[in-house]
């Protein structure tokens, strides 16, 4: 795509980027605690965010810049199948409504900061805790890298060349996250989300007006897929199970990610989370409309070297420079919020479930915060190095694997909220089966997320992560049943009145 300097766009972009930078550093004073040198403050913002702050933070955190670029790109490339992001985000919230308040309460009552803390508290097993923590960290790293890809796409669309702008943007992010902790992304999320809403609403109203309406857009996309001979604006029957299983598996996985759990734990209580399960779908409408920008790309007749350019190219070709700059700033800031929360989530895991568990069990609250702050810098530096020195495809493949990996922590984190039947050994065996078996499935299918199971003549193609989760749960049940045959200390009871 064209990469001439677009000065009005650049000026608007720099203004908003500067604004959030100032906000990021000032965030340390927002709702100022007695001390920031406590992981509850730096890493969870004081566990006090109410309904609206949580709405902006979780929305800003899980609808990432990469989502804004990649979902329309997939829809542009393959059509209806890429729309699985919508049923995915429909299925998430009933689950969040039921489960996450219990997880929050368990964490709050016991001063837990991470999912792995919850698992350790429930089963008293260091190996299981480590498996959950390690999975969280390695699933998050490539996700941070993808945020950089989102940012890089819009920086290049502005006409800025080379990697230096990206490095600078990331350094700024790293420093204000270091000093303000979770308060920084929580405050920036307000700006990010409002900008994204303006951009998407403008795009979904104005672009169809220029392209002859939604009917014309769907027709153009249909014609483009027919000319290409692949994809389509409806699913093929063979894609049905794949479509649903990708949506369902992704929905179960999302709130196992450290950045999602961090944002949930930072909320002020169960009712805050329940209200958010009702209000957060507003972002899903946004995502669904955004996905259709893939079809607008066909209607506008864009010729793209890279599918990921579809959103920036639409803004550049159909909007004045200053608005394109505003849209690009929204996407770039949209990368900062999740990248910050992800690095904080990973840092919390490292501090609580590795440093405190193995290196220095007596570490003070101030000491934990110091470890977490430094870890958050290292995590971001690692993601930056991946993007600068390894092929982009490597980060994409790892991100795909990351989704499958994090899904395998579901039984260990969630089942214990409802039952004491499972044993740590069973859950660990299940996790290992799902983790390594699922990785093998992805590898077998040449880094595609789908695997075809054959039952005699009947073939069904499903999301590998869900197949791995089924194996995970089956093994967890069988091994737990076996372990239950011999006497073993029962898991600690949950400190929750519901269970008394």
Distance between CA atoms of 134 and 272, rounded to whole angstroms? Answer: 29
Closer residue to other proteins, CB minimum distance, 98 or 481: 98
In the complex, least distance from residue 215 CB atom to other proteins, rounded to whole angstroms: 3
**Short-list 117, 137, 123, CA closest to 375:** 137
User: Are 149 and 390 within 8 A, CB to CB?
Assistant: no
Q: 3-state SS of 302-351?
A: CCCCCHHHHHHHHHHHHCCHHHHHHHHHHHHHHHHHHHHHHHHHHHHHHH
277 binds other proteins (CB under 8 A): yes
- Residue 299 interacting with other proteins (CB under 8 A): no
Q: Does 271 bind other proteins (CB under 8 A)?
A: yes
404 binds other proteins (CB under 8 A): no
CA 92 from centre of chain: 13
300 binds other proteins (CB under 8 A): no
d(C-alpha 351, C-alpha 215), whole Å:
53
Backbone phi, psi, residue 232, to 5°? 170, 165
Q: Is 91 near other proteins (CB under 8 A)?
A: yes
Q: Which residue among 155, 169, 256, 292 contacts other proteins (CB under 8 A)?
A: 292
Q: Of residues 80, 366, 460, 477, which one binds other proteins by CB under 8 A?
A: 80
CB of 102 to other proteins, least distance (A): 11
Beta partners for residue 461, in sequence order = 452
- 89 touches other proteins (CB under 8 A): yes
Q: Quick one: which H or E segment has residue 455?
A: strand 450-455
**Is residue 197 a contact residue for other proteins (CB under 8 A)?**
no
Query: Using CB under 8 A, which of the segments 240-248, 359-367, 432-440, 455-463 binds other proteins?
Result: 240-248
Q: Is 94 in the site for other proteins (CB under 8 A)?
A: yes
Q: Pull the structure tokens for residue 105.
A: 């309460």
Q: What x/- string results for residues 433 through 462 when contact with other proteins is judged by CB under 8 A?
A: ------------------------------
Contact between 87 and other proteins by CB under 8 A: the answer reads yes
Q: How many CA atoms lie within 13 A of 53 on its CB side?
A: 23
Q: Does 97 bind other proteins (CB under 8 A)?
A: yes
Q: Map 183-220 to HEC letters.
A: HHHHHHHHHHHHHHHHHHHHHHHHHHHHHCHHHHHHHH
Kindly tell me which of 217 and 341 has the beta carbon lying closer to other proteins: 217
Contact call for residue 77 and other proteins (CB under 8 A): no
223 belongs to the binding site for other proteins (CB under 8 A): no
* Rounded (10°) angle between helices 321-350 and 164-180: 50
Does 215 participate in binding other proteins (rule CB under 8 A)? yes
> Which strand (E) or helix (H) includes residue 460?
strand 458-463
- Asked whether 186 and 56 are in contact (CB, 8 A), the reply is yes
Stretch of 14-22, 169-177, 268-276, 346-354 lying at the interface with other proteins (CB under 8 A): 268-276
Binding region for other proteins (CB under 8 A): 80, 83, 86-87, 89-91, 93-94, 97-98, 208, 213-218, 233-235, 237, 240, 243-244, 247, 270-271, 274-275, 277-279, 281-282, 284-285, 288-289, 292, 498
């Amino acid at each position: 795509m064209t990469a001439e300097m677009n000065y009005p766009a650049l000026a608007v972009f720099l203004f908003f980027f500067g604004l959030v930078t100032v906000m990021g550093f000032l965030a340390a004073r927002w709702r100022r605690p007695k001390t920031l040198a406590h992981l509850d403050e730096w890493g969870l913002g004081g566990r006090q965010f109410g309904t609206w702050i949580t709405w902006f933070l979780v929305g800003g955190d899980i609808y990432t810049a990469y989502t804004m670029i990649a979902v329309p790109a997939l829809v542009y490339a393959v059509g209806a199948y890429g729309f699985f992001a919508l049923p995915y985000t429909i299925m998430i919230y009933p689950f969040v409504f039921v489960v996450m308040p219990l997880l929050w309460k368990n964490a709050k009552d016991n001063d837990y900061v991470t999912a792995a803390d919850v698992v350790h508290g429930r089963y008293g097993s260091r190996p299981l805790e480590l498996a959950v923590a390690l999975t969280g960290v390695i699933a998050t790293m490539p996700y941070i890298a993808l945020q950089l890809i989102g940012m890089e796409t819009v920086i290049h669309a502005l006409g800025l060349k080379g990697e230096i702008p990206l490095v600078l943007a990331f350094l700024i992010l790293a420093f204000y996250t270091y000093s303000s902790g979770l308060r920084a992304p929580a405050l920036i999320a307000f700006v990010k989300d409002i900008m994204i809403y303006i951009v998407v609403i403008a795009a979904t109203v104005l672009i169809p007006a220029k392209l002859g309406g939604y009917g014309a857009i769907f027709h153009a996309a249909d014609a483009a897929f027919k000319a290409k001979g692949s994809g389509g604006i409806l699913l093929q029957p063979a894609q049905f199970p794949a479509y649903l299983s990708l949506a369902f598996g992704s929905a179960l996985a999302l709130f196992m990610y450290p950045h999602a759990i961090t944002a949930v734990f930072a909320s002020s209580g169960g009712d805050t989370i329940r209200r958010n399960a009702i209000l957060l779908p507003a972002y899903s409408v946004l995502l669904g409309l955004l996905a259709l920008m893939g079809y607008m790309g066909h209607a506008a007749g864009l010729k793209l070297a890279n599918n990921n350019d579809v959103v920036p190219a639409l803004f550049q070709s159909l909007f004045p420079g200053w608005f394109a700059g505003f849209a690009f700033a929204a996407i770039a800031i949209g990368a900062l919020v999740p990248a910050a929360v992800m690095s904080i989530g990973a840092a919390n895991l490292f501090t609580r479930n590795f440093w405190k568990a193995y290196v220095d069990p007596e570490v003070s609250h101030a000491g934990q915060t110091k470890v977490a702050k430094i870890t958050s810098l290292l995590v971001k530096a690692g993601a930056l190095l991946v993007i600068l020195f390894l092929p982009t495809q490597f980060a994409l493949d790892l991100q795909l694997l990351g989704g499958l990996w994090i899904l395998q922590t579901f039984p260990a984190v969630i089942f214990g909220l409802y039952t004491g039947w499972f044993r740590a050994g069973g859950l660990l065996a299940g996790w290992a089966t799902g983790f390594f078996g699922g990785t093998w499935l992805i590898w077998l299918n040449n880094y595609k997320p789908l695997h075809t199971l054959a039952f005699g003549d009947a073939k069904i193609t499903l999301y590998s992560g869900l197949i791995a989760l089924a194996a995970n749960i089956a093994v967890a049940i069988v091994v737990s049943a076996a372990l239950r045959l011999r006497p073993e200390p029962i898991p600690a009871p949950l400190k929750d009145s519901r269970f008394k």
